[in-house]
Amino acid sequence: MYLYVWAMLLFMPLVLCAQQRADTTRTHQLPEIVISERYQTREVMATAPVQTFGKEKLSSLGVLQVSDAVKHFAGVTVKDYGGIGGLKTVSLRSLGAEHTAVSYDGVTLNDTQTGQVDIGRFSLDNVDKLTLSNGQSDQIFQSARMFASAGVLNIQTLTPQFEKEKRTNLSTSLKSGSWGLLNPSLLLEQQIGEKWALALNAEWMQADGQYPYTMHYGGEKDSTSREKRKNTEVRTLRAEAGLFGNFSDTQQWRLKVYYYQASRGLPGATTLYYDYASQHLWDKNIFAQSQYKKEFSRKWVFQSSAKWSWNYQRYLDPDYKSSTGKTENRYYQQEYYLSAALLYRALNNLSFALSSDGSIQTLNANQPSFAEPDRYSWLTAVAGKYVNEWITASASLLATVVNERTKDDANAANYRRLTPYASVSVKPFATEELRIRAFYKNIFRLPTFNDLYYNEVGNNTLSPEKITQYNLGLAYAREINGFVPYVSLTVDAYCNKVEDKIMAIPTKNIFVWSMVNLGEVEIKGLDATATITLQPWKDIRLSLSGNYTYQRALDVTDPDGKTYNQQIAYTPRVSGSGQMSLEMPWINLSYSFVHAGKRYVLGQNLPENRLNSYTDHSIAANRDFRIKKLKTNLRVEVLNLLDENYEIVRNFPMPGRSVRATFKVIY
């Protein structure tokens, strides 16, 4: 029944559009539901902080995966366990990865088992732009699920665009580098008639990952040895197919099918003289999603989405048997998701939106006593937005209804909640593009299936984590002259309060833990970003950008506790990044760095729990060549230029200096 309903909504636009008269006079590009002005201007005009990396910016950063690019956003902490195949999760303003939604072409990805999306599995090969929104974006015409988190990372893939009388685009690339990296990819775009376009994209990546690192043994005289990471091989395959229907200026439809599989060794922690690891992880992920948009008139616009996803994970630890006698665990997740939204433009500068989402999430495992939970969610959001030359204001109210069931009826309680959001941006001076902005948001995240039902650990009486967000900031942008085409600056002060934080504590022994609502965290910080573009000559352009974050994320749970008023684990007080790109007719050069201050691996900020600060520098050079009708590009990068030996997570050393080369051909 689930598959029948999903399939009907997935392909309904084909039925609706089949009898429409073909418009053969021109080709329509699929418009996104975003403001069409350039990214930097949108960032300045936004009522809440938003950061965007377009395709050119991503290229200048010299990054391989989405996780590498996200490290350059302000206020972001990426937990990275090292290497290409290591798990990578994103936390926004120290709220935890579970509070950051990850969206793929406007439809959110979901992992109900852990609440965390591994952004290391997404390549940048077919990404058009990355957008990170704090609170929520000013786009009120979106699915209800996009309102339901403390922040959103949106991955927007390429939409086919064709030059005049050209119906096929083809590009292929090959990346190769240190530690056995081999990464070929292919992108094919084909125009089919006047209304349709097809995009196919696939890539394979493999690496042995056996990079060297320095192991410290401690003692009165710190002794070291040079070792190599073990059990680090990774093999991944990603394939995507997209079908784009551009029926008219007022009606569009797209269908995307995505497949990903990975096989990777888990290198484990490097402690004392022990670096043995034998664990292995296999992942498979398939999803199909459909999006349809129809403008009935200037005032009314309708949008719908449907998605089905299936996730498989197999974890093998041949050296350990669980209480069920198994050395491996297998998990199967499925999700059925439907969304509909309606936009009403009441006046030229006033609009309202209503959106409603329904989803069913299931989880099964190869454990005889597993709870086999199902989660039924219904989200409804109503939002309004007012815009004129001087002010932008938006507000929304989200209603959440969640019901759960398990095979033994030992499920968590059903949940109902209303959560508000409000934001405003004011332009005080007519002659300057200076904006004062502020937002308030109250939101929560439900316990994950692991929190609730994991064997010997789960607690089905957990309450959701609740968050209150406040933000006050300034944004400024200006085009000065031909020499300085563009300057922008943003500064935002924020305060986040977390209640009923879900934490794991030991119970009868150190091997059996339990999940409880124990923690309260208060996070105060400052994010600053700056961008300047210089053009000293016609064909030479220099772009400089950077960001800085200062935050105090303090545990305020128990005044008598050992961690009271101390920085929470893995949260640096100071972090930042910088980028420089120099575009010249004969070569393009770029430089980037990422910095994180000292952090603590536990809530007690003791010297023995401290991780040192680090700065990772990278440089790159690339040049375009034209061979008849073929456009080619050769890019060479040096990563971690200073060969710094550092850790983001304790005892998981990051790679040292490495070299990577990319050759790309475009037809």
pLDDT, tens digit (0-9, with 9 covering 90-100), for 431-477:
778 999 999 999 999 999 988 888 767 888 889 999 999 999 999 98
**Mean of per-residue pLDDT scores for the chain:** 86
From 4-18, 88-102, 328-342, 389-403, the region with the lowest mean pLDDT = 4-18
Q: What is the pLDDT of residues 127-184, one digit of tens each?
A: 999 999 999 889 999 999 999 999 999 999 999 988 888 899 999 999 999 988 999 9
Nearest-5° angle of CA 336, CA 337, CA 338? 135
Give the number of other Cβ atoms within 10 Å of residue 139's Cβ.
Answer: 20
Which domain does 119 fall in, by range? 2-666
Whether the CB-CB separation of 563 and 505 falls below 8 Å is answered with no
Tell me the CATH number at 103: 2.40.170.20
pLDDT digits (tens, 9 = 90+) for 542-579: 999 999 999 999 999 889 888 899 998 888 999 999 99
Above 70 in pLDDT, residue 6?
no
User: Domains in the chain: how many in total?
Assistant: 1
Q: Calculate the alpha carbon distances from 44 to 424, 488, 489 in Å.
A: 13, 8, 8
* % of the chain exceeding 90 in pLDDT: 51
Half-sphere exposure of 512 (CA within 13 A, CB side): 8
580 pLDDT exceeds 50? yes
Residue 62 sits at the vertex; the CA angle it makes with 60 and 64, to the nearest 5 degrees, is 135
Which of 228, 251, 337, 258 lies closest to 302 in space, CA to CA? 251
Evaluate whether 617 touches 639 at the Cβ level (below 8 Å): no
Residue 18 has pLDDT above 70, yes or no: no
Of the candidates 632, 616, 620, the residue with the CA atom closest to the CA atom of residue 582: 620
